[in-house]
Structure 1
Amino acid sequence: MKSLFTKEQIDELRLNPYTYHVSNTTIKFTEEFKDAFWRLYLQDMPLRDIVRTLGYDYDVLGEKRVGGFIYNLRKNRLTPEQRVASSSPQRITRPPANTDYTHMYASEAIKNMSAELTYLRQEVEFFKKTFAAGDKKGFRGLIMDTSSSKFQLIHELVSREDNVLTITELCSIARVSRSGYYNWVNSKDKRDEQERKDRHDFELILEAFSHRGYDKGVRGIHMRLLHMDPPILMNVKKSVG
């Protein structure tokens, strides 16, 4: 039996823009939520992480509600052939190596070759981006210098409508862990807040640097910040950065 939502939980669920309707017994989601959920589901993201990424508490929704939602979503999104073909038809896997297309019907061979070509093109594209973002210090430059850069590229690719590569495959290529990627995704609010703070600090430094129409060194910037109203105490190294 599904647990009932409390009044506090209902008020919180209504704040999420993906909530279409909620009562003490049921919750209905928007089409945008279903599309976003399906994209992440196809990328092999764990259910708890999908729910959390889209702004909900998995434990509040409950395992039975989430399971029922997935059942209906798959029922509506997959063809009968796909549902029969595999117990996990939603997962997009790497095309088999050395596939012999000569023993297939022409229509089937074209469909499989098209899927393989799409997969390989995206894989090559991701390799190119990881190389372009590398430190260019030689062969090791093939691997990006920060995990954050890798996570950003992975996130951009899996968010595309036409993506066929799973998060597992992309993390393997970039040599990062899936858990690290999911932690990065779930810390977006903290990164955004830090970016806003850094931007504000930069504007203050720029204002101090240009005060009275002439450029200043580190000491001059530091002193100008202290003479602002209110005074600002900032790390000198940060000012230099």
Structure 2
Amino acid sequence: MSKNIYNEFQIKELEKNPNISSVSDRSISYSPEFKMKAVTEYKSGKTPSQIFIEHGFDLEMIGKEQPKRCLKRWRDTFRKFGEEGFLTERRGKGSTGRPSSKELSVEDKLRKAEARIKFLEAENGFLKKARGARKAGGEEKTILTTDEKYTLIEKTIRTHQLKKSVSYLCERAGVSRSGYYDWLNAAPIRAQRDEQDEMDVKLIREVFINKKEKIGALQIKMIMENDYSVVMNHKKIRRLMAKYNLKTKVRKANPYRKMAKATQEHLTCPNLLDREFNQGEPGKVLLTDITYLYYGKGQKAYLSCVKDGATKEIIAYHLSTSLKMDIVYSTLKKLKEAVGYHFHPEAILHSDQGFHYTHPLFQKKVKKLGLTQSMSRKGNCWDNAPMESFFGHFKDLAEYKSFDNIKDVKKEVDRVIEEYNNYRYQWGLNKMTPVQYRSH
């Protein structure tokens, strides 16, 4: 048996050589005539490799050591049993020199019966795989694609040498015979595509791992284009990620958090945005909210952020270990510094109806800055969806849970927001980062 594993294209190429009687994915059976020729030519002084090359074998395909191994075995067989040993041997080992099968009608019948059993076993195993697994309750679910069915047919025929059963197996699998042969003829194209996929997935895997397996196909596409100058269709990236099992780690929804449906607007601060977050002007729509960050041994920090609705940039943020009003006052102060004390003349600050934002002193400070305050409907997180989305991405990217002190958490928050603003390309921003889009 060869140490190589042959693919379907190589098997087809090998079968074209008249010195081969049959090929499987792990072994090659040579014709008795070729074995006798090889032994004779070896005695005349030719090397094993020279003999194989002259008879049309590609040593790169079958393995450079294969000729040497074969000649050693065939010489032993010839020395023990002569030429008759090649005619009656099984699996490359010399036989006991029994008469030919033509004289043994009983054994001939046994061999035929054995072939029929193999066919039935192959059929049974093939049908089980083609039908797929059953769900609980008896509902049947097909798990094989057409391509997988063709692969299974080809392997069944090759393993059990059932070349005359193509039509039957295709019929049983529910695929066409012509389609199967078209699939066989396309083997070189598939082999070439597999080689190309192996090269393409290297960069995808590198980007995916560098981002701690927390990004999807669109993010990978934008990073490849901007950071590596490599253009690849996002559908191809998805296909390769599925093929090579690159699964994105996604956050799980909190089962205890339910969105309450509300229709009544807040009496003092109506919802002025009505979910029109991007109004085409940077600084016009400012979204704010607070999220919880659990770290260490049950410790809790609070992150307050302000996000630009047009550029998606985090303009200002403040981290605190307390939920007192200072957290939003500090955020307003940092916001004022970030915009250079010059707000958009029609700037709107939008939030939920949390107690911080409904506090009279906070509303007074907002008004003093020249901002118009807007609020989501009570209990409706979709009215501030971009802010909720950012917090979700933030918690995917940030590794703060293992830290034991607030200083390390603060460093991680700074790092992630810096990366989000300056290095995280977004599909909705013409594949630019928030800072790039703002400058654009």
Q: Rg: which structure is higher?
A: 2
Higher strand share: 2
TM-score normalised according to structure 1 size = 0.48
TM-score normalised according to structure 2 size = 0.28
Higher helix share: 1
RCO higher in 1 or 2 (8 Å CA, sep ≥ 6)? Answer: 1
